[in-house]
Structure formats: C-alpha cells, structure tokens
Structure 1
C-alpha cells in the first residue's frame, strides 16, 4: 500500500531498527545520517563500543526477525563479577539461571547488521548528510553534506533518532520550546582495553570457562567497585574486554581533573586497581588518546510538534548507562511507534501524542533507576546490608514467585512497563528493609512470616512475559 514518506534523522541503532520496522509495515522510509556509511568506512561511533542487550531489546529484535542473527555475535553475561579491594572476586547472578542473562554486543557490528536489514526491507539511507535546518510548516529540511554544501529536500513526516545531541530536537525547540532539561551527573567516563589473553604476558590471564582467548571470565560483567567511583569491563566476541573507568569529573582526587595524564592515571590504578592494571598493556596510549565522555540525563516536556515531527530514543530521553537499558528502551520505542503508525497512518498527530503518553512515564522511570543503579554498582555490590537484602530477596523469589521478583529482574528479563518496575521495586524494598531492621541477618528471617507480609501488603505480580 502506498503511504506517506517518513524521514528519519539518524541511522544509528534506534534509527536503523525503526527504519526496518516501518519499511516492513509498508511505509516509504528515507534516512539521513551525518556520519559516513560504517559498512564502507569502518565504524566511527566515538562512543562505547559494546552494549548490554536485555530482554526488552531482544523482544524488539525478535519482532523484526533479527534476534538470532544478533545473538550469534553476542557474548552471554550471567551476572556481575565483583572484584573487591584485595583481589577477591565473586559472581552475583543477574537472574535465577541461564535463562535470565544479558548479552554483550558490539555497537558497530549491531549497527551494520541493522542497516543491512533496513535496506533489505526497503528503507533508503543517505550518509554524510547533517540536518542544519527545518521548515516545519512547509515540511522541508535543509541538509549539509561532508563538503558543506547545503540542499533542501521534502521532509514528509519527520522522526528524530539522532541521539542525545539531536539536531532535529534543536530545530524543533527553536520552533516551539520543548521544555528541555539536561541534568549532568557530574561524573565522566574513559574507555580502556584488555586485549585477548594471547596478547598478555604468560601467567596474567585468568583463563576460565573453556574460553582461553579471554583474560577474565568471559560470561560476566566485571565490576571493580570503589565507593564513589568504579571500573567495569564487558567482554567482546573476539576475546578482548572494553574497560570503562567512571570518576567524578572535577574535585579532589580521584577525579578526571586530578588525573591530567597517563602517568598520574597509572599511579592511581596501581593503588586502586592493582589487579586490573597489568591486564591493560596499552594503558598509557589508551588513557591519553581516549576522550573523557560526559554523563547526563535528558528530560523533555514535549516529544513532538503536533503531527509534523517526533523524537525517539536518546533524542527524546537520553539516560546514563548504569542499568544497561538505553538501547533496550530505544528499541522498545521502535516497536510501539511502528505499531501505532501502522494502525493509524493518517493520524500522525494522534499517534505522536499517544506515543509520548505511553512512553514518557517509562522513560522517566528508567532514567531514575539508571541513576540509582550507579550508586548500587559502585557502592552497594560490596556492602553487607545490600548483600543481605539480595539474599533475602532471592529466597522470597523462590518461595513466593507470584509476589516477589527483584526489580533488576523486572527491568531486565520481563516486558512489564519500566514505571511499574520502579514502583513495585520501591514497595518491595520497603518491606525488605522492614524485615532486616528486625533481623539484620537474612538467614535468621522467618521466611513464612516474610512471605505472609509480602502477600498481605502487595498485589500479585502481573503475568510476566519472558521472551
């Protein structure tokens, strides 16, 4: 069926998947992306090179027929491998078993797979094209190519999937204020790399799990929590790990301001991450050449201009990365929006308003949970009280699965709305705190009494949809 043209600004992960979803539903889709085609020039993301794929994102990929292809390139992560000061480490599982895991995926490889899929579905891509202006009344857009030459084109229905620094959002905000608020975390990040085990001196690599190319346990997200800061490491399919250092941006040591060069950073790592430093042989080169990334949360009062333009993914609701849900949330956006447009292709104003009504409370909820998870990852994973709550929660999940599921599992392994997971998680946490206030040792809590308390105070969980 012939339908109006939809113009997407941004061909990254969310833009490419949305293009594929819309093209499969019969829409004529054009995508304009400011970067060159990564399939020809190599991936030039400038951002984290691997990401955590969870059930919400997987479900979106299943709906697009792409989940199996993506998982062939991914590395399973069963839980957090916590590396405490002193060199002790232990695995904290994310779920109950290997049916509840997350996946480390390469941003570049995933983007290229999604571009291929979108083109195969009929979407057309135009690379090296930056949005520099929009006339929303005339539905015209102005683009600049890599040589700086400007051209005007028909815009049709405009959707911005161009990330946290969205050019379409800026154009929309100039037309009608969107109520934009950006809250900086005050912390930044820098990426380093652990190479495959074969590139390390003999004896350094902790080869485990039958995967000898990895220097650490491959099926885990590794965390070195140190209070107000931390390092994490995610496995890559070829055997390396991407290490990310999170620190305050300014202030007294340790902060990025207090580490002006690799020599200062090396001394800091030798003191605070002595087991990690030897695994990063190109430490000085990585530290001096990789930029410090910023961490902020974006809030908008308006995601759309009536029926003419809409923002999705990070362009509408960028969050900090500490719950591993930014991509997953954006992928959820694509399914909701594609379904709404397919159901009412001639009512873009109604569709855009409904999309914001449905998705904004959930975007706000995962933004809040991502900020809370940063504190949990850098502080709580080694805290005895946190571990006691975790132990008691695991026992309750087994005893009364219809009334208790840890918030992390609700977010990561089900499709319940983020807003529900936030509210339910807070209610459950209050009850866990009440139980442990009376008996700080989880092993001493009367589980029958605890189960009765949860069943009396909380409604049964909704039917939980796993993939």
Structure 2
C-alpha cells in the first residue's frame, strides 16, 4: 500500500541558513507546522488573534471533538508528539447506530475489529501542540495579534497597531483565513466557498449516575434521521460531546425549535434514547451557537509578494466539511508534505510552496468530495439493511483478498495512501466488482436457460 512514509531531514542537516517564518494562526495546523519548521533550523514566530487558549475560558459550544486517525498520528509521530497526544484520546472501533425504534447496531471500522479512530478534544489537542511548539527552540508565539496587513505585516493588538517582518509568511489561520483574505484583496488569488444548507450545534451527554459512561465509549455514535443526524464522541471525563447536523430551514431545523417545550418534544420524538442522558438539553440547545459547514477552495495557494513568499496551508487553503473526520488529519498531513518538499528544494520556500501545492491539490480535492459524500452515507444510509449488507460483503472481500481489496474507509482512516490514490483505487475495485457481478448474473441466467431448455426436452 503506497504511503507518505518518508521522513524529512532534521535541523542543521536540512538547512544551514535559517529563514524567519511568520506562521499566522496558532491552531492545530499552525502549531504543528511551527514544530516542523523549527526542527529544520528555521526561526518561527506564530501569530494568533485569540488570547492564549491554555489560559482563556473555552468558547461555549465550540469544542468539536476530533477523530484523530493514522494520517494525523503519522505527522505527530514525526516530531515525537504522538504518545503525548494519544494519552488523552479514546479509541472508537466502529459506529454505533441508534434507530428511533429497535436495537442498536454496531458497525466495526476494520475487518478484524482492532483498528480505531481516536476521539480527542480539539481544545486539548491544540493546547498540547501549543505546549510543544512553545518548548521547541526557535519558536515564539504571540497572542492577541489579528492580521490586518500583509505587506508589510500589520496586526491589531489590545495595545494598538503592531508591525512585524519575516522572510516568509504562511497562513495556517483556518477556513476564515485573514492571510487568504489579504491575498484575495491584492488580486493574487481566487476563492470559492460552498456552504451546505446545514449547520451544527453542540450538546452534551452527561456521565451516568455511577460516574461511568452512559453509552459505549468504544464507538462513534450516530443517530441517522434522513434529512438530519446527530453524532456523539466520548470524552475522558465520561461525558459525550454531541453534534447536531441539521438543516437551517424547514419544520425540523435549527431555527424551528423556539420554546423549551418544543425542544423537549422534538428530541423525545427523534432521539428518544438520549433525552434522559441530557440534563442540560434545553439550556445547551438555546445557548450554544450554530456553526457553518462549507468547503473552501482557492488558488493558487501561494504568491510572490514584495515582502517575500506567502503560502497557505490546512483549512486556510482547503477547508472541508467534517463528515470523514479528516479535517485536522488532512492539515497535519499537509505539514508532512511541506516538510518533504522543503527537503527537495533545499529549504527554498519560493520553490517549495508551489511544489507543495502541485503535490497536494489533487489529494485535497479528493477528500473534499469524499467528505461531502460521507455526509449522505452517515445521514441517510448507515441504518439501511441494504447498506449494512454491503458492508458485510465488503468485509468478506477484504478477508478473502487481503491487501488486494481494501475498503475506502480503511484506506482513508488507517493508511497514509494519498487521498487521490484512494479515490482511484476504490473506483477500480468497484468496477471490477461490477464486472464480476454482471458475469455472475449472466452465468446464472445462462444456467437458468439451460435448465429450462432441458426441462422442455
């Protein structure tokens, strides 16, 4: 199975003349990127618009648990952070489907049931990465600096305007990237943002009366309801973070439930098994914000400015919807690919940033499409007997043809096979299966005709 398995050179091996890199954004990708770049011997200043999240109060309803899988773990492993991060993670070995009526259905992710994706709090992961970046020689982190100008670098701060300089600027500041906005305003890039007609809202399932988990913590729980769904991921404190993915409009939408009675009535009808587990349901529903869901595309991801090269990475370049659990994993993998092209170009950022885009663009387009398709699968299909039969057949094929037939989910979540190669391989597998199915049906038809002919004789 092909993979992104090579490791970059380190420190002075990689670079003898340090470059001062300004990384805008101290979120997940920006913090990890700082570790990668400093490891290569560069001087890195990370600018973040927020206060230090390690000391500031968390924003209500914005935790958004992540599903950390092999691509993200591989990136963390390269800078020695995987063990530290996974201490706070909870492995989920499959999906637990909650119907309105009837029994729960557990659908394991891998054929042997051993592989798992890992539930982790975005905030806890971000704090761990910030600690690691701050402890890395050559990295400094500046909070409460909101980018307002790119050439030269200008920031709005609580004390007023601040200016800075750097040899290279990399925007790792998320889907609403200020760096991307500056490049767009300078006419150096184009962008498109495709929003879903859906939003998300977070709720909490409390720990049980005995202080233990109220549901199975080894699963990602899904309540598929056709036009909407809810998911829940476990937390170390024995709670679950739930996320509603509901349409913005209509009779059963995020905007349609106004009163406490309406909220409780709707949940008792649609999610009857969780209402007893949510003592703060009404308060959380009314007070927690609604988040937007969309896909960001832009191009190019880099530009030459009078002040030096400017690039975009992670969600700043290619934000995707969260339905394959790959947003953070994809951003972390970006750091690996950029590290690799810096090896190839001798740490010439002007050459490395276009090469990074050339290597990465097809892959992120592939996972963006897969994430959108997986929303339909999670929302509409996972409770279907036909879908469940298909998964059983798929696992049977994986056992019968080990290494030759591998499901899309396993390739995406449990390997570092480039996303575009996953897309193409799965397409070929399905074509072969389709051809075999046609031949099998043809054979059965011929057999039936022969039997009928024999009977006529």
TM (norm. structure 1) is 0.87
How many Å separate the matches in 1 of 2:264 and 2:432? 44
How many Å separate the matches in 2 of 1:423 and 1:33? 38
2:78 alignment counterpart: 63
- 1:7 matched to 2:22: yes
1:263 alignment counterpart: 261
2:153 alignment counterpart: 141
Residue-by-residue CA offset, 1:18-57 (whole Å, 9 max, x unaligned): 0011111111000000111122224448633311000000
In the TM superposition, what is the alpha-carbon distance from 1:146 to its structure 2 partner? 2.9
The answer to whether the 8 A contact 1:25-1:342 is kept is: no
The answer to whether the 8 A contact 1:389-1:436 is kept is: no
1:208 alignment counterpart: none
Alignment of 1:184-195 (within 5 A): 184-195=195-206
In the TM superposition, what is the alpha-carbon distance from 1:343 to its structure 2 partner? 4.2
How many Å separate the matches in 2 of 1:286 and 1:24? 42
Alignment of 1:40-439 (within 5 A): 40-44=55-59, 47-122=62-137, 123-135=139-151, 140-147=152-159, 149-198=160-209, 213-250=212-249, 252-306=250-304, 308-345=309-346, 347-432=348-433
In the TM superposition, what is the alpha-carbon distance from 1:177 to its structure 2 partner? 4.2
Aligned residues: 424
The answer to whether the 8 A contact 1:389-1:433 is kept is: no
In the TM superposition, what is the alpha-carbon distance from 1:113 to its structure 2 partner? 0.9
Residue-by-residue CA offset, 1:162-209 (whole Å, 9 max, x unaligned): 00000000001111242201111111111000011138xxxxxxxxxx
In the TM superposition, what is the alpha-carbon distance from 1:433 to its structure 2 partner? 5.3
How many Å separate the matches in 1 of 2:83 and 2:437? 43
How many Å separate the matches in 1 of 2:72 and 2:36? 14
How many Å separate the matches in 2 of 1:175 and 1:417? 33
The answer to whether the 8 A contact 2:314-2:334 is kept is: yes
How many Å separate the matches in 2 of 1:27 and 1:13? 19
Q: 1:264 to 1:117 in 2, by over 3 A?
A: same
In the TM superposition, what is the alpha-carbon distance from 1:156 to its structure 2 partner? 2.2
The answer to whether the 8 A contact 1:133-1:143 is kept is: yes
2:6 alignment counterpart: none
Counterpart secondary structure, 1:111 = helix
Q: 1:238 to 1:352 in 2, by over 3 A?
A: same
Residue-by-residue CA offset, 1:73-117 (whole Å, 9 max, x unaligned): 100100000111204202101112354110001111111111111
TM (norm. structure 2) is 0.88
Question: What are the ranges of 5 or more consecutive residues in structure 2 without an aligned counterpart?
Answer: 1-15, 445-457
Counterpart secondary structure, 2:223 = strand
Counterpart secondary structure, 2:299 = coil
The answer to whether the 8 A contact 2:51-2:144 is kept is: yes
**RMSD of the TM alignment (CA)?**
2.0
How many Å separate the matches in 2 of 1:15 and 1:299? 19
How many Å separate the matches in 1 of 2:244 and 2:146? 31
Counterpart secondary structure, 1:323 = coil
The answer to whether the 8 A contact 1:389-1:432 is kept is: no
Counterpart secondary structure, 2:38 = helix
Q: 1:415 to 1:24 in 2, by over 3 A?
A: same
How many Å separate the matches in 2 of 1:346 and 1:67? 25
How many Å separate the matches in 2 of 1:117 and 1:45? 25
15-24 vs 378-387, greater mean Cα deviation: 378-387
Q: 1:43 to 1:156 in 2, by over 3 A?
A: farther
